[in-house]
């Protein structure tokens, strides 16, 4: 009777170890499968998570060169302009350790489309910053003035004296 219990407990132990190994292999495959390459708006590929939204598109009734100038101004004001491609009308910059791309395309005779894409160092998307950059481009076009740089909201529980 002891032999049967020892064989049964060994079988259960072996089955439990195989289930653990299978779950570790499954999680590793899931992790590796969730990362990949994404296409940036300047027609390049970067390592990032492809399953999240990272682009905002705005349409403006301004010529392409004026929208490009506004996009460059916004990137320079908020961070550092790192590249410009005048052939496909893209600008690239870094804002708060995030890479930002803006592509400007003509749409018809009077309209221009600006696509803003933002990714963090680890490949995660920052749709909120993309939206903010798009808004600043629109404000720059309408007012023809510089827009204050993006500053994350502070903690509303802090008193005004401690914000200095």
Q: Where are the beta strands (DSSP E) in the chain?
A: 36-39, 45-48, 55-60, 80-85, 90-95, 98-107, 111-119
Separation of alpha carbons 40 and 88, rounded Å: 13
- Summarised one tens digit per residue, pLDDT across range 64-114 is 999 999 999 999 999 999 999 999 999 999 999 999 999 999 998 899 999
Separation of alpha carbons 48 and 34, rounded Å: 9
- The stretch 140-147 carries a mean pLDDT of 78
Separation of alpha carbons 41 and 44, rounded Å: 7
Checking if the pLDDT of 35 tops 70, the result is: no
Does the predicted TM-score (pTM) go above 0.75? no
Nearest to 126 by CA among 105, 150, 147, 144: 150
Separation of alpha carbons 102 and 98, rounded Å: 13
Q: In percent, how much of the chain has pLDDT > 90?
A: 45
Give the pLDDT band of residue 164 (cuts 50, 70, 90).
very low
Check residues 133 and 151 and name the one with the higher pLDDT: 133
| Radius of gyration from C-alpha coordinates of the chain | 25
Q: Which two tokens stand for residue 2?
A: 């002891």
Separation of alpha carbons 25 and 15, rounded Å: 15
- pLDDT number for residue 162: 46
């Amino acid at each position: 009777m002891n032999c049967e219990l020892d064989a049964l407990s060994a079988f259960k132990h072996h089955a439990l170890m195989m289930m653990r190994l299978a779950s570790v292999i499954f999680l590793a495959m899931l992790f590796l499968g969730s990362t990949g390459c994404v296409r940036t708006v300047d027609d390049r590929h970067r390592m990032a998570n492809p399953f999240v939204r990272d682009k905002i598109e705005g349409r403006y009734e301004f010529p392409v060169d004026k929208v490009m100038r506004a996009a460059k101004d916004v990137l320079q004001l908020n961070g550092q302009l790192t590249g410009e491609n005048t052939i496909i009308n893209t600008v690239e910059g870094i804002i708060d350790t995030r890479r930002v791309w803006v592509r400007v395309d003509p749409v018809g005779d009077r309209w221009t489309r600006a696509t803003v894409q933002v990714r963090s160092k680890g490949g995660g998307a920052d749709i909120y910053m993309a939206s903010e950059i798009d808004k600043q481009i629109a404000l720059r076009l309408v007012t023809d003035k510089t827009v204050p740089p993006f500053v994350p909201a502070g903690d509303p529980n802090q008193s005004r004296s401690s914000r200095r």
